[in-house]
A and B are shown apart, each in its own frame.
Chain A
Amino acid sequence: MENAISLSATELPGLKPAALKGYDRVYIGSEFCQNRLPSAPAFRGLAEIFKGPLTLVTPLLSDSGLDAAAALIKAVAPAKGPPLEVVVNDWGLLRLLKKNKRARPVLGRLLMWEIGCMDKKFLNAFCREYRVAGVETDNAEVLAALKGYAGPVHYHYPFRFKSVTRFCSYIRDFNSSPCSMDCGSAFVKLSHKDIPEPIYLQGNAYFIPNKPLKHPAIKRLVKTSV
C-alpha cells in the first residue's frame, strides 16, 4: 500500500521535510478550486524538499483556469523519466493531456460518481484510450460501484467530499477572480440542528469526516493534511 499526503498550496511556504517523512508520495494542488494550484516555482521547491513522486491535483476549470493548469503542467512535467501524475477533474484537461506523454492522468473525485456508475467495459476502454493511471475516491459506495474497473483506486481520508461551489464565500465571487487564498488550509466545522451531521468547509468545498479503508482495489491511501 502506497501512502500519500495531500497538501494545499498555502502550506508550501515554510514546509519542513520532516512533515513529509513516512509518505511515499505528495499530492499538491486542489480538486476543488482553480485558484489553489501551486505556482511552478512552488512546485519545484516542493520537489527539492521531497525526493519521492509528486502528484499535481487539478479541479474543474474555466477557460482561464485550463490555460493556467496547462501552462503549469508544461512547466513542471519532467522531460525524462516517469511522467508527472496529474489528478484530473475536468474533461477539457483530460482531452488536452491525451497526447501529452509527459503527464499521466488520474481521474479525480469530482468524476468519481460518473465513472463509478459507468458501464465497466466502456470505462476500461476509455481509461486505456486516455492513459488513465487510476481513480481517486473517498467513498465506500463508489468503491463498490467501481467493481470491474481494471485500474487502481486511491482512497482519501480523513475527509469525504460532499459538495462544491464555484462562488467562493471568501472572495464573494467566482473562483476565476483574483484571490489571496485567505481560506488557507483550515477546515471550519458547520452545524445546525436540522442537518444530520456536521459538515466542514474548506475553501469552496464541503466535507464530512472519513476513515481510511482496506480493500483489494485500494492501492494508495491519501491523507489530507489538516
Chain B
Amino acid sequence: MPAAAKKTSLAPVNSKPGHRMRVLVGVRTYNEAEFYLTRGADEVYCGLPSIPNHGVKAENFASEAELLATIDLARRLKKQAFLVANDVFPGEVFPKTAAAVAALVERGMSGVIIRDLALLEYFKKRGLKTYFTLSTLGLCFNREALKFFRERGVSRIVLPQHLTPAEARPMFDRKLGMDIEVFCLPLFYEVNINSLCSLSCPCSQEAVTDVKDQRAYTCLTALKRGDGAGSYAMPMPGSKALLNYFYDFYHLGASCMKVARGPNGEEVKELFYKSLLLTRLLEKGVSREAFAHEGLKIVSSAQNYGKRYIVKRY
C-alpha cells in the first residue's frame, strides 16, 4: 500500500478585489505542459487512458513515463500537476485502478480530479491524503451538496456551468472552506449538462479522420418541431450574460480558472490565451461595463471550441 501522500497546499479562497485566480490547463503531452506552465498557467491536468476519465483517447497522455516527467517539470517550476480520474471506476477494475491512482499521488501528483465517491472512500480508508477536486461531472449544485463532498475529502469543486452567480453564491461562503474553480464561461459553455447528456454528439467519439463519419452536434442543430411551431434550437445564455457570470464568479471569490483539454491542441492554445486575457482583465479590477465591452471583442462564440479532431501533438 502506498504511503500517505501529503496534502498539497494551495492558495486559499480569496475574494478580495484584485485577487489572482490560479490558471489550470488540460494537457496531453510534456511539451504542452511546458508551454502552458511557462506562459501563465499555474497548474496542468493530465489523464492516462488506463485510468477512467471523461476524455477521449486523444486527450490523454500517450505514456505514464511522459506523465511522470510532467510531474517533475511542474515541481521544478514550483507549479502543480493534477491527475484527471473524473469517471466512475467500474467494480471489476476498481481495486487495480484505485491503487494506480494512489501510486501516482505517492509519486508526486499534486492532486486528483475525481467523480467517483468510491475512490474518495478508498483513500479515506487507507489514510491517504491528497488534494481532491470534484469534477464538474460530479453534480454539486448547492451548499449541502458541497458539504456532502467536503465531508468525503474534496478540497475544490469545479462549479457546474449551469449555475448562475446568484444561485451559486451560498457555495462561496468561506466558512464552507472549499476552493472553487470556474470555466471561462464566455468562451467555454456546454448547452446541456455535460455528464447528463447522451444525445448524438462528436464529443464522445474517438478520433474521426473522415468528416462524413463525424456525428452531428444535436445541441447545435436547428431541429424541426413536430407540433408545427417551426424550428427549435437548444437554448443557452448569450455571450454578454456569460461574460457577466464570469465577472461575478471572480468577484464572489473563484480561486481558479480552468481551460479544458481537447483533442485539437491549436484550439486549446487559442482558448488559453483568450481565457487568460479575460482573467487578467478581471484581476486589474476593471468595471463590469468595461469588462463586458472588452470581453465582447475577445469572445465571438462560446461554441468555438468543440472537438474537431486535429489530433497532431506538438
Contacts and interface: CB of A to CB of B under 8 A. Distances in A.
Interface of A: 60-66, 90-96, 110-111, 113-114, 117-123, 126, 145, 148, 162-169, 172, 174, 176, 186, 188-192, 194-196, 198-199, 201, 206
A119 B225 CA distance: 41
Interface string B146-171: 11110000000000001110111111
Nearest to B190: A165
B167 A66 contact: no
A65 to B, nearest CB: 7
Contact of B91 (A90, A148, A165): A148
Interface of B: 87-91, 94, 115-118, 121, 139-149, 162-164, 166-171, 191-193, 195-200, 216, 218-219, 221-227, 229, 232, 234-237
27 contacts: A62-B141, A63-B142, A63-B170, A66-B144, A90-B142, A91-B144, A92-B147, A92-B148, A118-B91, A118-B117, A122-B121, A145-B90, A162-B197, A163-B197, A165-B162, A165-B191, A165-B234, A167-B162, A169-B234, A176-B164, A176-B166, A188-B225, A190-B232, A192-B223, A195-B216, A199-B223, A206-B192
B139 A195 contact: no
B117 A126 contact: yes
Nearest to A186: B227
B91 A163 contact: no
B223 A195 contact: yes
B193 A62 contact: no
Contact of A113 (B88, B167, B216, B237): B88
Q: A interface, by DSSP: helix, strand, loop or mixed?
A: mixed
Contact of A189 (B87, B164, B226, B236): B226
A118 B116 contact: yes
A91 B145 contact: yes
Contact of B118 (A65, A119, A163, A190): A119
B226 A194 contact: no
Contacts of A145: 90
Nearest first, the 5 closest Cβ-Cβ pairs linking A and B are A189-B226, A92-B144, A92-B145, A122-B118, A117-B88
Contact of B226 (A66, A96, A163, A198): A198
Most chain A C-beta atoms within 10 Å of own C-beta, residue among B169, B221, B222, B236? B221
B142 A66 contact: yes
B206 to A, nearest CB: 18
Contact of B200 (A66, A94, A169, A195): A195
Contacts of B164: 174, 176
Nearest to A191: B224
Most buried by A among B166, B170, B196, B229: B196
Contacts of A95: 144-145, 147-148
A192 B233 CA distance: 11
A113 B224 CA distance: 29
Contact of B199 (A117, A163, A176, A186): A163
Contacts of B197: 162-164
Max chain B C-beta neighbours (<10 A), residue from A111, A114, A168: A114
Given A63-B167, A163-B197, A174-B164, A188 B226 contact: yes
A90 B193 CA distance: 14
Q: Which of A166, A172, A194, A196 has the most CB of B within 10 A?
A: A166
B226 A113 contact: no
A90 B145 contact: yes
B226 A118 contact: no
A162 to B, nearest CB: 5
A117 B90 contact: yes
Contacts of A201: 232
B65 to A, nearest CB: 29
Given A63-B167, A117-B90, A195-B221, A165 B235 contact: yes
Contacts of B193: 60, 163-166
A189 B227 CA distance: 7
A30 to B, nearest CB: 14
B167 A174 contact: yes
